[in-house]
Structure 1
Amino acid sequence: MCPIWPLHLIILYLLALCPLWVIVQAVPELTASFDPEQITVNMDEYHLVNVAVEGPMQLGDEFSLVAENPHLTLPEWNTTYHLTEDNIASSKFESVIKVNGKFLGLTNVLLEGRRGSEPLTINNNKLPVVVIRPERVIDTIFVTSIATFVSLIFINFGCAMDWPTVKETIKRPVGPIIGMVGQFIFMPLMTFGLGYVIFPNNAEMRLGMFFTGVAPGGGASNIWTFILGGNLNLSLAMTTLSTIAAFGFMPLWLFSLGQVVFANAQIVVPYTRIATFVVGLIVPLAIGLAMQRFTPKIAAFMVRILKGFSTTLLLFIIVFAIVTNIYIFELFNWQIIVAGMGIPWLGYCAGYALARACRQPHADALAVSIETGIQNTGIAIFLLRYSLGQPLADLTTVVPVSAAIMTPIPMTCIYIYQKIKACMGALSTDESTRKCWKKTSPQAESRRSPQSSQPLIYTEGLPKV
């Protein structure tokens, strides 16, 4: 046995620790502090932050700034970052950082240091940065213009609405009941389950999907129902009833499954916004109905321009929405696209299938389908803004925005198909007419009517004209 056992083990440990002790002495630890300790900066703007580093430093030490996510922010020195003799003597370095916001998100700016080829250890070297989207004038213009145009088109709907048919629909509300089953039972449950499939590890995005699913039907459903030849009276009745029913159904879902999706969300039911939508729906319809009675000629003119005005409004909404929210396309990935397609498209299919299963005619089934699939994404965005902090609120709005973008695609395809079918039908009719004229008898006579100077043509197989 070794005569100095167990002292030789202690000696071996000391010999192993000596190099580490030398390294620690050669590369000292520094401590950084930021003022403010975290910042919130708008996109395309910047924020100045004071930084101080304390600890033993040497001439030649270098400090650098690194963004954990360069896509979100760009940090740079706003003043000098070179050490002076005064910094060495006082063991303190002070400077100013300029943090530029590039895109929405949460990230950190790291302060790193080097002494020659060796990295310096800097404690507290992370500056949390939140990049948010500022309120813009174009957003206010967009919301105001859309509200104005939608009010005008609902006045047109009031001029075209057959009030006795609406009252009959309310007395026998088979269609509205089917629509509310799809709107307030199928859509919330579908978006709840689909959210876990598409975003298994992202509770915020699941909340965005769920909020979109529990929102009532949107005003665009009435426009598309009219353009595609559905039952407009049923659609208007369903929109009104579903929006009123949202006062009860939305809190039911938000405080049950909503808490399961994201327990930390500060969920606020937007009663005021729902009430505003109800008023914005009923008042223009009442104006249109009054015009039917007191100014029938103007009402008839409003009805004549309704289809063209509706198509123009839809194009305006789609184009303006894309232009004002072009930044959000940077957040799009396959999951966001699938979520945006799944919400309205599955709603269309479920609504139509349920209505046909209940033996509703095609026009009514089409109205139910559109009412089920088209959601009021404005209410969903409002819910996200008040339930989540920034930038999560803006980041999660990509889900209802994606749904809004994907919503018109099936309807547009159906509209194009209807137009092509109508054109083909017209061509077929013209061809049949030409063939019929070619088969006329060569003995066809041209006679003049005693009461008219125009010749009357008599042909075999055709009625007298």
Structure 2
Amino acid sequence: MNFKLMILSLFSFLTVQVVTVNALTISFIPNNVTIHEDDIITIEYNVTDFNATEDEEEFIIDTEDENIVSIERDVILSHPQLNLRGLFNVTGKFLGKTTVICKNVKTNLRANGDLSVIVIRKNRIIDTVFTVSVAIFVSIIYINLGCAINWSEIPTILKKPIGPSIGFCGQFILMPLLSYGLGLILFPDNPEMQLGLFFSGVAPPGGSSNIWAVLLEGNLSLSILMTTTSTVASFATMPLWIFTLGKVIFDKGNLEVPYTQITTYVLALVIPLAIGFFIQRKYKRFADFMKQILKGLSIVLLLFIIIFASVTNIYLFKLFSWKIIVASMALPWLAYVLGYFTAYLFGQPYSNSITIAMKIGIQNTGIPIFLLRFALPQPEADLITIVPVSVSVFTPIPLICLFICLKVWTRLSQKKRELKSNTGIDNLATCT
């Protein structure tokens, strides 16, 4: 027994000697850096404790992830002409974290000492331009909506609030549970992606659902009422879900809910609507003109948001995986289907059912993006926001398809009526 222990001890000693015999210690100055994408930073290195036994030993400085940073690849350390000091450049390529190391060219053994590198995104003018232009565009749309709403229908809706009740339950019970379940199924070992999807599910409804209510012949008054009540209710529901079920994913208790952001969203909804209501009451002709351009302006706004958002956040598309795509499609699309058929089973007409479905499935993805960027350090914040960004990209696809189908169906029906009308006229002329 003692003989075996002696053999094992001798083997372990020899193994350690083999691993460390040609090792060196390198220190980087600084030993951790944060740089922007495409920026270059110069790093100094110092070499100590070089224990080479051969006449020629070569070491290079390398990175663990070439997708995040690139560095000089020349052999910078060799024996016996060993450079004890030197400089090299690190270039940020993409968001993320990696480690710069020094390793033996022949054996790939790492030297003692490394450099931690974090790559983050630059603050760009295009991001500000996009935010401001969308805010202005949406304000104009909401003024139009205020002109188009039949305000007399709202008391009738409130007397029998079946539709708003279905939408409320779908928005604040179905969506959080659905996003949590999809996260567990698709990202079982990635709590960051679970967090991004869950935050997308607990967000208040998106204002674009009101625009789609116009384009898809939904109930605009019901849509506006549900948007307003759900947004106000999110003051309570968001922290409730985040600090209960959300803690299973993200157990940091210091996460703050952005009440200011939600308040700003409510005001951004109410004030333009009030302006539209005022125009409708005081300036009938102008209100009628605003109604006439509402659909065209809504289409322009949707195309603007989809195209501009894709261009602005195009860097995130590099991170798309099949799991992210499936999650981003499943969350809103399942909500559409479940919301529509639930409303249909409760006897709601098409206009109400499609409105409820959209109100449940369309999320205000700006809120989870803000939450994630507020709660997490960089670059994790930008990397995890790929989920709500992806959700916003795939959310309108079924609605666009439905809009095209409705337009084609309307056009075919119109042609069919015209054909019948012309046939009837020809038959009448023949009989005459």
What does residue 25 of structure 2 align with? 31
Q: 1:112 to 1:430 in 2, by over 3 A?
A: same
- Greater Cα shift, 263-272 or 293-302: 263-272
Aligned residues: CA RMSD:
2.6
Q: 1:10 to 1:344 in 2, by over 3 A?
A: closer
Offset at 1:81? 2.9
Residues 97 and 116 of structure 2 are in contact (CA less than 8 Å); yes or no, is this contact kept in structure 1? Answer: yes
- Which one of 46, 53, 62 corresponds to residue 47 of structure 2? 53
Residues 58 and 79 of structure 2 are in contact (CA less than 8 Å); yes or no, is this contact kept in structure 1? Answer: no
What amino acid is aligned across from residue 69 of structure 1 in structure 2? D
What does residue 64 of structure 2 align with? 68
Offset at 1:266? 4.6
**TM-score normalised over the length of structure 1:** 0.86
Offset at 1:188? 0.3
Offset at 1:261? 1.4
Offset at 1:395? 1.0
Note if 1:426 corresponds to 2:389.
Answer: no
Q: 1:24 to 1:108 in 2, by over 3 A?
A: closer
Q: 1:158 to 1:34 in 2, by over 3 A?
A: same
Cα separation, 2, equivalents of 1:373 and 1:14: 64
Note if 1:253 corresponds to 2:238.
Answer: no
What does residue 182 of structure 1 align with? 170
What does residue 94 of structure 1 align with? 85
Residues 231 and 363 of structure 1 are in contact (CA less than 8 Å); yes or no, is this contact kept in structure 2? Answer: yes
SS of equivalent to 2:61: strand
Residues 102 and 110 of structure 2 are in contact (CA less than 8 Å); yes or no, is this contact kept in structure 1? Answer: no
Q: What count of residue pairs does the alignment treat as equivalent? A: 429
What does residue 204 of structure 1 align with? 192
What amino acid is aligned across from residue 149 of structure 1 in structure 2? F
What amino acid is aligned across from residue 104 of structure 1 in structure 2? L
Offset at 1:222? 0.3
Residues 103 and 111 of structure 2 are in contact (CA less than 8 Å); yes or no, is this contact kept in structure 1? Answer: yes
What does residue 234 of structure 1 align with? 222
SS of equivalent to 2:101: strand
What does residue 305 of structure 2 align with? 317
Cα separation, 1, equivalents of 2:409 and 2:151: 32
Note if 1:137 corresponds to 2:125.
Answer: yes
What does residue 337 of structure 2 align with? 349
Q: 1:17 to 1:369 in 2, by over 3 A?
A: closer
Q: 1:213 to 1:442 in 2, by over 3 A?
A: closer
Offset at 1:264? 3.9
What does residue 454 of structure 1 align with? none
Over the matched positions of the two proteins, sequence identity in percent amounts to 44
What amino acid is aligned across from residue 175 of structure 2 in structure 1? M
Residues 106 and 129 of structure 1 are in contact (CA less than 8 Å); yes or no, is this contact kept in structure 2? Answer: yes
SS of equivalent to 1:29: coil
Cα separation, 2, equivalents of 1:18 and 1:413: 69
Aligned residue runs from structure 1 range 330-369, under 5 A: 330-369=318-357
Offset at 1:75? 1.6
What does residue 106 of structure 1 align with? 97
**TM-score normalised over the length of structure 2:** 0.92
Q: 1:390 to 1:265 in 2, by over 3 A?
A: farther
- Which one of 76, 82, 106 corresponds to residue 81 of structure 1? 76
Offset at 1:251? 0.5
What does residue 447 of structure 1 align with? none
The structure that has the greater radius of gyration is 1
What amino acid is aligned across from residue 123 of structure 1 in structure 2? N
SS of equivalent to 1:96: strand
Cα separation, 1, equivalents of 2:398 and 2:10: 75
What does residue 449 of structure 1 align with? none
What does residue 396 of structure 1 align with? 384
Q: 1:416 to 1:292 in 2, by over 3 A?
A: same
Cα separation, 1, equivalents of 2:57 and 2:349: 80
Residues 83 and 93 of structure 1 are in contact (CA less than 8 Å); yes or no, is this contact kept in structure 2? Answer: no
Offset at 1:123? 1.3
What does residue 122 of structure 1 align with? 111
Unaligned runs of 5+ in 2: none
Residues 104 and 111 of structure 2 are in contact (CA less than 8 Å); yes or no, is this contact kept in structure 1? Answer: yes
Q: 1:308 to 1:388 in 2, by over 3 A?
A: same
Offset at 1:51? 1.6
Q: 1:39 to 1:158 in 2, by over 3 A?
A: same
Runs ≥4 in structure 1, deviation > 6 angstroms? Answer: 8-22
Offset at 1:194? 0.9
Q: 1:405 to 1:23 in 2, by over 3 A?
A: closer
SS of equivalent to 2:72: strand
